[in-house]
Amino acid sequence: MIQDYLILSIILFSLGILGVISRRNVFTVFMSIELMLNAANLAFIALSRLHESMDGHVLAMMVMAVAAAEAALALAVVILLHKHKGKLDTNVFSLLRG
Amino acid sequence: MENTATYLGLIPLLPLAGALVTGLLHMLTCRRKPLPELFYGVVGCIGPLLAFFFALVLFFHLKGMPAEERFLSHIPYTWFAVGDLRVDMGFLADPLSSLMLLFVTFIGSLIHIYSIGYMAGDENFGKFFSYLNLFLGSMLILVLGNGPVVMFVGWEGVGLCSYLLISFYSKERENVLAGNKAFIVNRIGDFGFVLGVSLLFWAIGAGGFDYLALQANAGSLTPGVGIAVCLLLFLGACGKSAQIPLYVWLPDAMAGPTPVSALIHAATMVTAGVYMVARFSFLYVQFPVAGSVVAWVGILTALLAAIFGLFQRDIKKILAYSTVSQLGYMFAGVGVAAYSAGIFHVFTHAFFKALLFLGAGAVIYALHHQQDIWKMGGLKEKMPKTYWTMLIGALALAGCPPLSGFFSKDEILFSALAHGHIGIWLVGVVVAALTAYYTFRMIFVVFHGQPRDQHAWEQAKDAPAVMTWPLLILAFGAFFVGFLNLPGLFGGGLRVSHWLAPSLVESHPHVGLGVELLAVFAGVAAFVVGITLAYRKFGKGATEPEYRGFARFAYHKFYVDELYNALFVQPYKAFGGVISRILEPKVTDLPVRLSTWLYRWAGNAFKVLQVGYVRVYALYMVIGLSLMSLILSQSIN
Amino acid sequence: MHDFLTILPLLIIVFGAVVLMLLAAFEKVSLTTAAGISMGFFAAAFAAQLLAGCGPQRLVFEEIFNGMLVAGNFTMVAALVIFACGFFSTTSSHTYFQVNRFDGLEFYSLLLFAAAGMVLLTMAAELITAFIALEVMSLAIYVLVGYDRNRVTATEALLKYLMLGAFAGAFFAMGTALLYGAAGSTHFTAIATVAASEAGSPLLLGGAFLLFVALLFKVAAFPFHAWVIDVYDGAAAPVTGFMATALKAAVFTLFANILAIHGALHQGWVEILFYLAVFTMFAGNLIAIGQNSLKRMLAASGIVHTGYLLVGLVAISADTFTGAVIGYYLAAYAAGTLGIFAALSYLGGEGEKRATFADFRGLARVRPYSAAAITIFLLSMAGIPPTAGFMGKFYIITSAIEAGQIALAVLAVVSSILSMWYYLRLIVAMYFQPAEETFATTGSPWAGVGTIALAVSVFAIGLYPIIV
Amino acid sequence: MFSYALSVMIFLPILGGLALFAAPVGRGAARAIGMAIALAVLAMGIEIFLGFSPVGGMQHVEHRPWNLSLGISYSLGVDGISLLVLMAGAVLFPLVYAVFTTRTKGFYANLLLVQGAMIGAICATDLVLFYLFWEIMLLPVFFMIGIHGGAGRLPATLKITIYTIAGSLLMLAALIYVGVAHQAQFGFWSFAIADLAALNLSGGFTVWAFFMFMVAFAIKIPLFPFHTWLPDAYTEAPTSTTFVLSAIMAKIGVYGVIRFVIPVFEIEFARWALLLALAGVAGMLYCGLAAIAQKDLKRMLAFSSASHMGIIALGVFCMNVQALTGSLFQIAAHATSTGVLFLFVGLMEERMESRQIDEFGGIAYQAPIFATFFAIAMLASVGLPGTSGFIGEFLIILGAIKFSIFIAVLAGTTLIVGVCYMLWMYQRVFFEKSNERTAQFKDLRLAEILTFLPVILLIVAMGIFPQAFIGKIEPAAQLQVAQLQKGGESGGIAASIDLAPSPHNHKN
């Protein structure tokens, strides 16, 4: 049974990765990262059940908190980006290169 | 066996001190207020004269000792000692070195005196005497040194002075080039000398590295090493004494002032090679093969130089080739293990050749530095003293009995015959005829016939007394020193040979009276033939002949200089150019430049990867991650 | 009580952060005072840590708070390095902000928070703590990177760092999850014990792998290095300095702790770390040689130094681990890098207008002392004696050879040869070329003083290697 | 002599140099301070030389543990091997201050630093300490060339710096390897050369470590084919720096081989000696031939210097006491002769603003004293007996014969090669006719005469009374060679050929 959870989790995680490397919109990218974190959360909860310990749950909570903090920051970044260039395409922001 | 004589060290020191004093004074004053020439002349002559005095003292000191104990030594200090190698700064006087010492200081003193006249008016008068003194000091170290390394000090020292004096008129490029040539060719010889000495050390030098110790240990030399040592040392001698293939520098060396040619390039320095071979007689006598090489090289050099001498037009070059030729005789002598004969020829040659050079110098002096014999002629009347003294010298050189040259040359040819070297003897006789021919060609062209340059002829006159007196003294010597070693055939007692015997390892073969007579007869015949031919051709005034065929080839000295230039000098220079222009920047440095270039290239390539798109960076991460997991899964399986 | 005493420096820092945050809310103090307060807290924490270190001899890994944290000489040194970094970053910042006016009191508060996260990270003994500490640190640093809201490059740097950092954070979380699944515990020791018994477990392997990826990202190891150039370039000079030193120190300490806590965790990774170290060193050099901007060059050279530290990790031996080698290298590296960023903060001018090699031409003619100080830092980074960088490199190579990794040691040496090019390039520009400007600066002398102090410490650390 | 003489000799110049950087003094005062310090060091050097007892071991030993965990110590000492190198470092520096009067303060400060570091490298008996000074001494040179050098100074200074640092860093790895091996064999850390000499190195990496050491020293010497930095660096550097490079720094490379490589890697050394000797000879020939094609006087001397260094290095690789002593002696001899030649060229450049051989001529008439001094130094450089150059060269060739006849024959050609380019140069520069440029050349002033005279006299004295020097260095050379022969035997290599007659040939 546990394998199923893990496989699902890894599928979600991989989807997140794909999103990060394929999408250019900042929002989508951050959503993909959220997806990856949620994949981890899924694994935490499942494994916590497996081991019958609460560590996994705690971790999941922590991850959620961190995700929220990062999301807050991400929103700030989005605003800044929009302010500077009016666009949210990550490719636009490639002044620093070479 | 050895006694000490503390004044030995003083003998070379005296001229050296003179060199230092005159040199320093000249160096410090020449730019402002030069000191009077007389001062330099007097100071410069003190050293040689005192050295001559001590040489006499030494001679009588040795004479007063029993014949087998005639060894005096003085070791002021240890020069250097490393491991088994111990080289003392030591001096050794034995019959051989005392003889050398005597004539070197004697002729040296005479030439110093002569130079006061000859060099008068030269702006570098003081420098000249300094160099001359330095030369004499080095020569005395060479002669007196008690081992090969100390000898090498003098050996190189005289080479340096030779260089300095050849290029004395250093404003002209030609002169300096001649000096360079002399130094470099000598260095080629020294290369052999150093290697030979080093080899000798490893073979038998551990027990002491002076002549006496080496002589005591020489018996244990293996033939391979022994012959190698002999030949390497002979290479040194070839350089110093202008033998094939290193003779080329000596004719050019005539660029120096004439007293220098007389002293260094005729009487003393160039004979150092002969002296060295005689010094190592204990080696050469063990390995007759090496001796034969020496003898053959010597006699062939004699022949070659005599042939060149036939066609020269520069009076000094004639004498120079004659010197090379006579040196060849000497090597033939020491090569056939007749060391005393070789040394005796050194001794007599010093007198008559110095005389001839000084005479030639007087002629050149009188004609305002005209050296071409085809611009001279008929000087007999104008310069009688010079003529008669030079005539004595020429007769001695040509081997006219009973002058000195006859006896010494005869001794060598006789020894060659007696030791069974028929070939050498035959060539030697031919060379004797050639010698007589070219010598008298010179005498006849210069002094007889009609003046070829009327203006110069009218102004010519005998040199001042300070120059003619040495001529007279040398002429006296050139005439009579031969009697010192009168062979038994003429009722003499070979006194010089006997005097030298303790220093040399040689055997005197016993041959019949017929052989002796044959040798004497051949020598006289050669002289007569040569002088007759010369008289026929040049005796009554001749014009410069056109050279064709072989003569032209010989006139150009077989193009040996050109050959050497093409074979060695130009390739050397070209190689230097190739290295500094092509090899150094493009080949040797290539790995460094290539790696630098590669590094920069890769750096630029990496710059491209920093595209600035954040997505791509994430992609790099994922790619890296995938690759790493691939490696990881490999390592698990 | 003992446990609290052990983390007293951490508490001081957190307290300071909160105090500054509160002060910022009321805007009652000047920026200079805020910087002073920040420096005071860093100094106090440093002193407290030193005092704690003077106590009885500790084990390498002493568990406190029921195994939530470990403390020992190694973590202590790491904390000292971090506090020092904070201190000098503050001095640099003060000067920097007098020229570039986009500061606020919160800046110093965030600096303290970041430092707190870092110190916590060094002491983490299990994954939950590590994750929290990592995020505390990262979130603060994100803000610091993008602190200059009006500059588009700063925002871009923030975007890149945040996006990739969050991406890596997700790997960390996933790795943690898998490791937890494999071991049933988040404690390093427990995980290591499991690793020793069942080496091939895919969960364990995958988890550790993802965890390491996250850490390697933070220290900018190849191939997770690409962000570092742009982010360092975009961030303000003092922040870059702080990131380059303190952050690296914290993450490497955690890395070393994880690897050294049990031999089993180390063995399986030697090979991959070997290749990572090699590629990191050479990739860093190749990037650095092509740069014209100083900050980008320094970022690339930071990658190279990460490579050296990875060499140190390869050479770790669980039995004899003291952390001395890595701790020393971190300190040496921090001194040099902080110093040069302090100098850049001081000399960079308004809007960091002096940023490239060419901009520093002839500095030595005009400002000989600044040039001398920069030279010292560069030499230290290049590993030329008698600077700290030399001894650091000496230790690293020694440990590598001791561990039998001779090839790695030689490659490290080759890499330092390559690194000479770009370090010397700056020295050449400063000394051998004529000055084109006056290098007038208007900032406070704090950064200058800090620079001198760091220059002295480069020699002090180098000549009297303190053995941890 | 007080017991910290060596430390003082090292740190007086270093601290003086650092103080000079910081102190607000003019160039005249800076020069005076530098001169005073250099003279103080010279006085101490002479004191050490005179008080030196000719035995094999270390003297003036200082030992202070420094880094306990790795066994690094601050240990200094002088023995016969380092004595002459040390003397070269002490004797020659005052000349620079005396001759070059118009440099900046920073230049004199750098000069002091480099002197201190060099003396440190010479006296260090701990490998790490040596490495420390070895690296430090490069830095002032880097700055001196880069700041004060000629037009092409930037590439030249980068090349010498990166080249030599590359070598040094490789040596660092090898050095640590040796230290680790010592720890593994004896159970404690030490980098003291006396401890490392006891090491029995084997294993695959040993040969690499050996070559890493050798490459580092070969670059500094410089040994063919690692010499390519030299012509540019020597030419572009200010002459005083060229002087320091050629007279002393290059010698420390040779010294390093003798001091550190021979005791530690005796087996490898014996095994590769032939190859290394070949490199030495090849370098001698190659650079000697290149010298003849140079148009720039300084560049010619640079190649000449490299050529001689090849011979000096050869002496070390011949592995017998004669050659080794010869090398040690030649180190000092070459330092004085070539060093002075470089100074003379610097002088000519300052007065005539040219270094092109073609643009000179007839200086001997304008400046007889200068020409004489130059000639003496030149003759020493070509190895004329009676000057310092002969003894060393002779001993090296003599030793080389024992080692390999082939090598010795090649080495012997140095007698010929050296004289060719030197005479060629002397002819064009000092002889022939003077021109507008040389006509205004003033002879040496009294102060300059007094400056150079001691060195010229030293050149002559070293040729006439070499035993005063050789006697002090020979015992140490004996020890070193004994160590090598041990290595050669245990490595199963015949270190020399047998020229002496075998016993059964002795009949008398």
Strand partners, D439: none
pLDDT score of B2 = 59
Q: Where are the beta strands (DSSP E) in D167-229?
A: none
Q: What phi and psi values does residue D279 have, to the nearest 5 degrees? A: -60, -40
User: Is there a contact between C152 and A47 if contact means CB atoms under 8 Å apart?
Assistant: no
Interface contact flag, A96 C160, Cβ < 8 Å:
yes
Q: Angle, nearest 10°, between helix axes B422-447 and B404-418? A: 160
The answer to whether the Cβ–Cβ distance between C230 and B621 falls below 8 Å is no
Contacts of A91 in chain B (CB under 8 A): 613, 615
User: What Rg value do the Cα atoms of chain B yield, rounded?
Assistant: 31
pLDDT for residue D440: 83
Q: What is the mean pLDDT of residues B401-421?
A: 87
Cα–Cα distance for residue pair B346/B340, rounded to 1 Å? 10
Reported as a single tens digit per residue, the pLDDT across B212-251 is: 888 888 888 888 899 999 999 999 999 999 998 898 898 8
3-state secondary structure of C187: strand
Percentage of residues in chain D having pLDDT higher than 90: 43
Interface of A with C in 54-83 (CB under 8 A): 55-56, 58-59, 62-63, 66, 69-70, 73-74, 77, 80-81
Q: Do A37 and C185 touch (CB under 8 A)?
A: no
Model pLDDT, residue C329: 93
Asked if D379 lies within 8 A of B584 by C-beta distance, the reply is no
Of A41, A63, A96, the CB nearest to C234: A96
Q: Is C155 in CB contact (< 8 Å) with chain A?
A: yes
Write out pLDDT tens, residues C286-314: 999 988 999 999 999 999 999 999 999 99
Provide the 3-class DSSP secondary structure of residue B93.
strand
Evaluate whether residue D505 is within a structural domain.
no
- The CATH number that applies at residue A37 is 1.10.287.3510
Q: DSSP labels for B308-363? A: HHTT--BHHHHHHHHHHHHHHHHHHHHHTT-HHHHHHHHHHHHHHHHHHHHHHHHH
Q: What are phi and psi of D63, to 5 degrees?
A: -145, 130
Residue C415 pLDDT greater than 50, yes or no:
yes
Q: Give residue for tokens 């999850």.
A: C177
Chains B and C touch (3+ CB pairs under 8 A): yes
Asked if B597 is an interface residue toward chain C (Cβ–Cβ < 8 A), one would say: no
Distance from CA of B600 to the nearest CA of C (A): 7
Residue C407 pLDDT greater than 50, yes or no = yes
Q: Which amino acid is at B45?
A: C
pLDDT in tens, D389-410: 999 999 999 999 988 889 999 9
Question: Taking CA atoms, what residue in D is nearest to C410?
Answer: D173
Contact B166, D402 (CB under 8 A): no
Closest chain A C-alpha to B611 CA, distance in angstroms: 5
At which residue do the structure tokens 């609290």 appear?
C4
Residue position matching structure tokens 């004494």: B241
User: What pLDDT digit, counting tens, does each position of D73-115 carry?
Assistant: 899 999 888 999 999 889 889 988 888 877 788 889 999 999 9
Q: Note the pLDDT tens digit of each residue in C179-236.
A: 998 888 888 888 888 888 876 678 888 888 899 999 999 999 988 999 999 999 999 9
The two tokens of residue B131 are 């160099």
pLDDT tens-digit readout, C117-146: 999 999 998 888 999 999 999 999 999 998
Contact B614 A98 (CB under 8 A): no
Q: Is the CB of residue D446 less than 8 Å away from at least one CB of chain B?
A: no
Residues in A closer than 8 angstroms to B612, CB to CB, are 94-98
Peptide bond into D238 cis (omega under 30): no
Cβ-Cβ contacts under 8 Å, C397 against chain D: 172-173, 176
Looking at the domain assignment, is residue A58 inside a domain? yes
Cross-chain Cβ contact B610/A20 below 8 Å: no
Instruction: Tell me whether residues A36 and C159 touch, CB distance under 8 A.
Output: no
Query: In this structure, what DSSP letter does residue B463 have?
Result: P
Predicted model pTM: 0.91
Give me the pLDDT at residue C74, please: 87
Closest CA to D398 of B215, B227, B196: B196
Comparing CB atoms, the residue among B30, B219, B580 nearest residue D290 is B580
Q: Is the pLDDT of residue D503 over 60?
A: no
Domain boundaries, chain C: 2-463
D502 is a domain residue = no
C318-351: b or e for each residue (b if 16 or more CB lie within 10 Å)? beebbbbbbbbbbbbbbbbbbbbbbbbbbbbbee
Q: Which amino acid is at B304?
A: L
**Structural contact between residues C292 and C356, judged by C-beta atoms closer than 8 angstroms:** yes
Helix (H, G, I), strand (E, B) or coil at D96: helix
Q: Residue D443 pairs with which residues in a beta bridge?
A: none
Contact C230 B629 (CB under 8 A): no
Amino acid letter, A48:
S
Q: Is D68 on the interface with C (CB under 8 A)?
A: yes
Cα separation, D162 vs D177, in Å, equals 22
Cβ–Cβ below 8 Å for C397 and D161: no
- Whether residue C428 lies within 8 A of chain D, CB to CB, comes out as yes
Closest-approach residue (CA) in chain A for B607: A98
Q: Which two tokens stand for residue A7?
A: 């496989």
List phi, psi (to 5°) of D278: -60, -40
Q: Return the residue of A nearest to C175 by Cα.
A: A40
Residue A26 within any structural domain of the chain: yes
**Cα-based distances in Å from B397 to B240, B449, C311:** 21, 22, 87
From the list B65, B135, B75, the residue with the least C-alpha distance to B107 is B135
Q: What's the number of domains chain D is made of? A: 1
In chain C, residues with a C-beta closer than 8 Å to the C-beta of A63 are: 131, 173
CA dihedral D57, D61, D64, D66 (to 10 degrees): -60
Residue D255: predicted pLDDT? 92
Residues in chain B with CB shorter than 8 Å from the CB of A32 are none
Whether D333 is in a domain gets the answer yes
Q: CB distance B628–C288 less than 8 Å?
A: no
Q: Looking at the partner chain, which of B30, B78, B203 has a beta carbon nearest the beta carbon of D501?
A: B203
Q: Is B634's Cβ below 8 Å from some Cβ in C?
A: no
What's the number of CA atoms in the CB half-sphere (13 Å) around residue C92?
A: 31
Whether D23 has its CB under 8 Å from any CB of chain C: the answer is no
C336 token code pair: 């040099």
Q: Which residue of A has its CA nearest to C130?
A: A59
Q: Cβ contact (<8 Å) for D180 and C402?
A: yes
Contact between D319 and B612 under an 8 Å Cβ cutoff? The reply is no
Closest partner residue to A97 among B612, B615, B619, by Cβ? B612
Q: What angle do CA B128, B133, B137 make, to 5 degrees?
A: 150
SS3 D74: strand
Residue D504 has pLDDT above 70, yes or no: no
Among residues D40, D38, D35, D80, the alpha carbon closest in space to that of D60 is found at D80
First to last CA, chain A: 49
Q: Quick check: is A22 in a domain?
A: yes
Q: Whole-angstrom Cα distance, residue C208 to residue C202?
A: 10
* Section A28-47 average pLDDT: 92
Separation of alpha carbons C389 and C395, rounded Å: 10
Compute φ and ψ for B507, nearest 5 degrees. -120, 145
Under 8 Å between Cβ of C164 and B617: yes
Instruction: Pick from C160, C167, C227 the residue to mutate for testing the A interface (most A CBs within 10 Å).
Output: C167
| D157-to-B128, C376, D148, D165, D233 alpha-carbon distances in Å | 47, 18, 11, 12, 6
Q: What is the pLDDT of residues D293-314, one digit of tens each?
A: 888 999 999 999 999 999 999 9
Q: How many domains does chain A have?
A: 1
Chain B CB within 8 Å of residue D56 CB: no
d(CA B442, CA B310): 9
A17 falls within a domain: yes
Cβ pair A66:C131 closer than 8 A: yes
C213, C218, C232, C269, best to mutate vs chain B, most B CBs in 10 Å: C213
Please give, rounded to a whole number of angstroms, the shortest distance from the CA of B557 to a CA of chain D: 24
Q: What is the mean pLDDT of residues C49-72?
A: 76
Per-residue model confidence as pLDDT tens digits over D20-46: 988 888 888 899 999 999 999 999 999
Instruction: Establish if D507 belongs to a structural domain.
Output: no
Residues 6 or more apart whose Cβ sits within 8 Å of residue B416: B295, B332, B333, B336, B338, B424, B425, B428
Specify the residue for token string 């004096």: B165
pLDDT in tens, B591-616: 888 988 999 999 888 888 888 888 99
The domain in which residue D271 lies consists of: 5-494
Chain B partners within 8 Å of A22 (Cβ): 615
What average pLDDT does chain C have? 88
- Please, are residues B479 and B407 in contact by the beta-carbon 8 Å criterion? no
SS3 content of chain C, % helix, strand, coil (to 5): 75, 0, 20
Residue B255: predicted pLDDT: 87
If DSSP codes are grouped into helix, strand and coil, which group holds residue D385?
strand
Q: With beta carbons less than 8 A apart as the criterion, state whether D298 and D355 touch.
A: yes
Token look-up 């004199």 returns: D108
Helical residues (DSSP H) of B64-147, grouped into ranges: 95-118, 125-144
d(CA B179, CA B168): 9
Q: What is the pLDDT of residue D493?
A: 53
Residue B411 has pLDDT above 60, yes or no: yes
C421 touches chain D (CB under 8 A): yes
Determine contact, residues B418/B351, Cβ cutoff 8 Å: no
Contacts of B604 in chain A (CB under 8 A): none
DSSP symbol at D67: E
Closest residue of chain B to A23, computed from CA coordinates? B615
What is the C-alpha end-to-end distance of chain B, expressed in Å? 91
- Which pLDDT does position A15 carry in this prediction? 94
